[in-house]
Amino acid sequence: MKFITRILRPEQVRELVTLFLIVIIVLGFGAFLKDYYTGRTFVRISTSIAIIAVVAMAQTLVAITRNIDLSLGSIVGFCAFFLGVQLSYHHEIGPVPAALIAIAVGTAMGLINGLIIAYGRVPAIITTLGTMAIYRTAIVFYSAPEGGIVSAHRLPLWARQFASWSIFKMGDLDFRVMVGIAILVVIIFQLILTYLPYGRRLYAIGSNPEAARIAGFPAQRIVFIAYLIGGALAGLGGYLFLLQYGNLMVLAGVGLEFDAVAAAVVGGVNIFGGTGTAIGAFLGATLIGTLDYSLRRWPAISEFWRNAILGLLILLAVATDSAIMARLRLMWARAAAAMTMELAESKTSSSPQA
């Protein structure tokens, strides 16, 4: 016990639990389903979570500061659309400039959210409920001359093939570029959250806003930047969305914001601020994606059970978090207190004057 509290933090225990659940699901379904342990399964699951993992990262950033972003799905949709239309007319745009375009557009949309929330002091839920509708309307306007759609066959060749590009292949085990991008994003943000003063301040603000104000760091600017980055990530999500699906309608990305909340919550991010990690959110997305795919493969039940089970999963995640995480933290605190006692004793026994 003492050893465990020394090398792990409660959040890491939470991550391990999520990972453990993923393993259980894989082993469980693997026992039932034929041809489950194949490269195909890996490809399907990994590509299905790439977009959601990136968007969940955006949701995690703002959730840590006690905010929420309901407009992410619309931003993803708009960026995908904008880029889709641009690529339809400009085949000369390469993959990297295209990504930059999508990210820039997403950043602009995040900027609007951030300005209204951080500086206009409008509650995040109201603001992003509004911009969710506005950005969706923007898609409608923007796509009107195109007949409201983007078709894959008008995209440049690279964009049609991008989704099947792979980083490395081993038999039918195929590690796709899209997945690589998502994992890179997760790693980058885990590092930001752990090692940059900015990342730590996100936690501080969400942990105790009043104390953050008194400690004197610029809470407004930090929240504003979180939305800016969130927008950028949603832009990247839009880029992946376009390349994954190719054919878009005006409803592209609807509901992604809720999927992102679900992934974050299942991964242990507290949407009321202060706790949560990038890796946790990624594991949450992976858990959902794995369950989703496996259920679809399972012939015994209808594939339509997916959402019913997902809803239950979210509820169980928060219920156990509220019941267990508090206790876990207490256990850690007790262990630390015991250590402090030990330290104090060793100190007094070693010092001669005591």
Site for another protein in 233-262 (CB under 8 A): 250, 254, 258, 261-262
Q: Is 196 in the site for another protein (CB under 8 A)?
A: yes
In this structure, how many other beta carbons lie within 10 angstroms of the beta carbon of residue 128?
27
Tokens in use for 93? 């745009």
Our measurement of the distance from residue 273's CA atom to the centroid of its chain's CA atoms, rounded to an integer in Å, reads 15
Q: How far apart are CA 173 and CA 38, in angstroms?
A: 7
- Residue 38 lies near another protein (rule: CB under 8 A): no
Q: How many other CB atoms are found less than 10 A from the CB of residue 333?
A: 12
- Tokens, residue 228: 């800016």
Task: Decide: helix, strand or coil at residue 230.
Answer: helix
Taking CB under 8 A as the rule, does residue 327 contact another protein? no
Cβ nearer to another protein, comparing 85 with 271: 271
Stretch that binds another protein, among 159-167, 207-215, 219-227, 277-285 (CB under 8 A): 207-215
Non-local CB neighbours of 220 within 8 Å, separated by 6+ positions:
118, 119
Q: Does 265 bind another protein (CB under 8 A)?
A: yes
Cβ 261 to another protein, closest distance in Å? 6
For tokens 């590690």, the residue is 175
Residues with Cβ within 8 Å of residue 304, at least 6 apart in sequence: none
Binding mask 2-21 for another protein (x = CB under 8 A): -------xx-----------
Smallest distance, another protein to C-beta of residue 236, A = 24
User: Which of 110, 158, 160 lies closest to 135, judged by CA?
Assistant: 110
- Asked if residue 296 binds another protein (CB under 8 A), the reply is no
Binding of another protein at residue 320 (CB under 8 A)?
A: no
Residue 187 sits in the site that holds another protein (CB under 8 A): no
Q: Quick one: which of 23, 24, 27, 126 contacts another protein (CB under 8 A)?
A: 126
In angstroms, the CA 339 to CA 318 distance is 31
Which of the ranges 20-28, 50-58, 227-235, 318-326 carries the binding residues for another protein, by CB under 8 A?
A: 318-326
DSSP β-ladder status, 173-176 and 166-170: antiparallel
d(CA 143, CA 27): 45
Q: State both tokens at 39.
A: 């490269």
**Residue 302 sits in the site that holds another protein (CB under 8 A):** yes
Candidates 24-32, 41-49, 83-91, 336-344; binding stretch for another protein (CB under 8 A) = 336-344
- Taking Cα atoms as reference points, which of 65, 60, 13, 64 lies closest to residue 281? 60
Q: Per CB under 8 A, which of residues 62..121 are in contact with another protein?
A: 68, 116, 120-121
Q: Residue 193 CA to chain centroid, in angstroms?
A: 13
Which residue lies nearer to another protein by CB, 245 or 332?
Answer: 332
* Residue with smaller CB distance to another protein, 184 or 337: 337
Sole window of 13-21, 53-61, 166-174, 326-334 interacting with another protein (rule: CB under 8 A): 326-334
23 belongs to the binding site for another protein (CB under 8 A)? no
